[in-house]
Chains A and B, each alone.
Chain A
Amino acid sequence: MMHIKPILAALKRHKAGTILIALQIALTLAIVCNAIFIIHQRLERVQRPTGMVETDLMAIHSAFVGMGDNQGGPLIKADLQALRQLPGVQDAVSLNSYPLRGGGWSTGVRTDVDAKDSKAHTTQYFGDDHVLSTMAVRLVAGRNFRSDEVVEADPRSVPDPSMVIVSKALADKLYPDGSALGKPIYIGDTKKPTTIIGIVERLGVPWNAMWSDDFYENSLILPVQLTSPYTSYLIRAKPGQLAEVMKAAPAALVKVNRLRVIPSERGVRTFAQIRDDAYKGDRGMAILMSVVCLVLLGVTAAGIVGLTSFWVGQRRKQIGVRRALGATKRDILSYFLTENLLIGVAGVAIGALLAIGMNLWLVTQFEMARLSLVYVLVGVVALLLLGQGAVLAPALRASRVSPVEATRSV
């Protein structure tokens, strides 16, 4: 191991450069830690499952023109019949919303009729007995609705349904002992109980925003076919026939009834597109942060190479003298590596504090999560390694300085 004292003495004569490199390392660490943290958080959200089998799935939004809230019933029925008869279609359903759609209904749920506050927050999906098969969500307990149990309702006058299928997350939240099946729940303000007849393994909410993260898997399905003229059709194609159905389904709907609007933007999408659209911001943010991180590390490494090269150039003579006095090539190499390590340690020490400070500021400003110290540790190690890597080339050049240099210009 090198003696540190002479290195420190030498650094004192290069205060400006030393401070600049340390500062750069510190700032880089602060930004890279927070950026990687943001990347990881975003990627975690992007990969979140909806509970549905997302292949061979598509959605169409449709609105009948000039209809009241109670007039859509027969038209939707005709649409569903046409869709389910299409050769490539396995099943189809009309819903008020579906996972990752963006807009939907949410409400509080109680298990005690007299409770003032709700026990859980959840989204509500309204559809018929084809919901489970179209979404291909897995029923883990109980049963599906029967077609004779499905009622029609104006969205402004939805009766309190007698039965409901809930997601496992919601069931566990409402009845933590696992006894949810067959138990009553009270949806919204109602005094009338709704019985849980089925539990599905997982079903996400229509939103992907931070505010809905708290109840992301709390969903319930009610056996109610809404009669509003505005509806979303979720369609499951037979395996491998999605492309044909994407063309055939909207055409079939227009053929059934022309007086409707299928929005030109986002009106007809495969579920892959829906997922892409929903998480565009998160994925983009992750890409942006990754690019910033990479360029930043590159810039910092380049800065270290530049300044160290300059120092090596400046000290050729001294290196020559040391070599002439018996220092080996390895001594010179380890001198520069140790020097960089010292500066790096100072830099990461300040940088770690900066990273935590920056995160605390982000927490207060943008309601972000707290930075886990693992990120800081990984960042510290990465930057120290980066420094050593960057200094290697100039240090090797220094170690090749011949002892003859000592004699030259003196």
Chain B
Amino acid sequence: MFAYYLQLGLRSLRKNPLLTLLMVLAIGCGVAASMTTYSVFRATSNNPIPDKSSQLYVPQIDNWGPDASKDNKGEPPNAMTYTDAINLMRDKRAKRQTALYPAAISIVPTDPSMLPFRETSYAWYADAFAMFDIPFLYGHAWTADEDESHAAVAVIGKALNDKLFNGANSVGKNVSINGRDYRIVGVADKWNPEPVFYDVINTNGFDDPIEVFIPFTRAVELQTNTNGNNNCSHDPGKGWDSWIRSECVWLGFWAELPTTSEADAYRAYLNGYAAEQQRAGRFRWAPNTRLRNVTEWLDYQKVVPQEAKVSLMVSLGFLLICLVNTVGLLLAKFMRRSSEIGVRRALGAPRKEIYLQFLIEAAAVGLAGGVVGLLLTGLGVMGVSLVFEPDVARLAKLDVSLVLLTMLVAVLTTVLAAFYPTWRAAQVQPAWQLKSN
């Protein structure tokens, strides 16, 4: 029966090609717009580290006081001072912890024909590798002792290893960073969390993968500048030393707290720390601290671009209109065949069969709409770079799940839209139709 109804449906669709084309195009456009914008939304609202998103936390400490935080709904600064980061590192109250910043460093190739170049580089502590589950291709992370001794060691990314060493195991070799040699202790495998949760403040959530990791302690010792933001509430004074002792915030900080009780304990510790700073006279206000996990942090930092949300909203509205339109056109199409329905009903077809017949016809329209939608979605995903920053745009991909979702949405929404017209069709009184002919 199914095949026969499908055949009937296709025949009826062919009979009125303009109307069918209208419906198919409307559904295709609506679905394509929604799916294209959804692909961006999906990429930007992705959970970058699903296994640990509720175990990794960003602590914030208000070192600027109520005068500054009143402009920001009472929230502490988004980044940390060197003073606070070092104190938190020293206290070691979390299972693992790291301070971090994007280091302004250049790689100098040993090959004299190559010019120096920059890669995304971070200075952080040894704990970070285990904390962020960074996979290793060769070697391993540096050790806590090497953090202590400000060792000249580095971990490099796979792409950089390919570029400098043609992909060979480079552990034990040297890499020249800012003109100084660093011993490579490990080569990280591809690690590219999206969004870039570990440094939302400086990247807005989207950046190239990290290719160079060096110990935080050594970077600071060598007065390596940050490649990221530096915010000061007051003039920090002259020179590097007064800057890192100042109240300027420029560091990220992460703590790994596997259980909620540990997180609660850490919260208490943060407040205790702020209270201690208040007693010492550094803060002239009551403790104001925050502790947010990955999900909460990405949400608080509004990582999903405003464009992604607005355009998703607009396209969903667009899909809704296309559906209202489809309801209307299907209604016209089905009601035009009242006499045909009357004949079928008079010959003994129960209402259920009428439902089935017309829903299958609608599903065929939906399927065709889905195919058109798929083509347009493909175009749309290619055109995403027109609207979004390249870092964001390249995340939008037409993968298997998006293809399936496109077809599913097209068919489901069309069938949904067909319910009312089908119900009306099934209500047709056979007697009325037979009489008038």
Contact = CB atoms under 8 A, between A and B. Distances in A.
Interface of A: 16-17, 20-21, 23-24, 27-28, 30-31, 34-35, 38, 63, 65-66, 68-69, 154, 156-157, 188-190, 228, 230, 254, 258-261, 263-264, 280-281, 283-285, 287-289, 292, 295-296, 299-300, 302-303, 306-307, 309-310, 313-314, 362, 365-366, 409
Given A281-B387, A366-B306, A30 B317 contact: yes
Given A66-B106, A157-B239, A259-B108, A20 B327 contact: yes
Given A254-B115, A287-B386, A65 B321 contact: no
B317 A288 contact: no
Given A27-B321, A296-B321, 5 more contacts: A65-B116, A66-B178, A157-B239, A259-B116, A302-B325
Contacts of A313: 336
10 contacts: A27-B317, A65-B106, A156-B236, A157-B238, A254-B115, A259-B116, A263-B118, A285-B387, A299-B30, A302-B325
A66 B424 contact: no
Contacts of A16: 331, 420, 424
B393 to A, nearest CB: 9
Interface of B: 19, 22, 26, 29-30, 33, 104, 106, 108, 115-118, 178-180, 223, 225, 234-236, 238-240, 243, 306-307, 309-311, 313-315, 317-318, 320-322, 324-325, 327-329, 331-333, 335-336, 386-389, 420, 424, 436-437
A306 B33 CA distance: 23
A104 to B, nearest CB: 11
Nearest to A190: B235
Contacts of A310: 331-333, 335-336
Contacts of B115: 254, 258, 260-261
Nearest to A16: B331
B249 to A, nearest CB: 15
Nearest to B325: A303
Contacts of B311: 285, 288
A292 B328 contact: no
Contacts of A307: 328-329, 331-332
Nearest to A368: B310
A191 B322 CA distance: 64
A51 B311 CA distance: 32
A156 B310 CA distance: 41
Given A303-B329, A366-B309, A284 B387 contact: yes
Given A28-B321, A303-B328, A306-B19, A285 B314 contact: no
A296 to B, nearest CB: 6
A259 B235 CA distance: 32
Report the 3 A-B pairs with minimum CB-CB distance, sorted nearest first.
Answer: A310-B332, A284-B387, A66-B179
Q: Classify the interface of chain A: helix, strand, loop or mixed.
A: helix
Nearest to A158: B238
Nearest to B223: A68
A65 B114 CA distance: 14
Contact of B388 (A21, A23, A156, A284): A284
Residue from B317, B327, B328, B329 whose CB has the most chain A CB atoms within 10 Å: B328
B307 A281 contact: yes
Contacts of B240: 69, 156
Contacts of B235: 188-190
A261 B116 CA distance: 6
A300 B325 contact: yes
Nearest to B387: A284
Given A21-B328, A24-B325, A296-B318, A302 B117 contact: no
Contact of A17 (B106, B331, B386): B331
A189 B234 contact: yes
B104 A230 contact: yes
A146 to B, nearest CB: 26
A303 B387 CA distance: 29
Contacts of A261: 106, 115-118
Nearest to A317: B436
Contacts of B321: 24, 27-28, 31, 296, 299-300
A254 B116 CA distance: 11
B318 A65 contact: no
A34 B311 CA distance: 11
A63 B30 CA distance: 48
A63 B331 contact: no
B389 A280 contact: yes
B314 A31 contact: yes
Nearest to B177: A66
Contact of A285 (B108, B307, B325, B437): B307
B417 to A, nearest CB: 10
B243 A299 contact: no
Contacts of A190: 235
Contacts of B223: 68-69
A156 B225 CA distance: 11
A335 to B, nearest CB: 19
Contact of B310 (A38, A254, A296): A38
Contact of B317 (A23, A31, A156, A365): A31
Contacts of B30: 299
Nearest to A305: B22
A292 B118 contact: no
Contact of B178 (A65, A254, A264): A65
Contacts of A292: 33, 314-315, 318
B224 to A, nearest CB: 10
A310 B22 CA distance: 14
A260 B116 contact: yes
Contacts of A157: 238-239
A409 B437 contact: yes
Contacts of B424: 16
Nearest to A287: B386
Nearest to B229: A103
A39 B26 CA distance: 23
Contacts of A20: 324, 327-328, 331
Nearest to B335: A310
Residue from A27, A190, A254 whose CB has the most chain B CB atoms within 10 Å: A27
Contacts of A259: 108, 116, 179
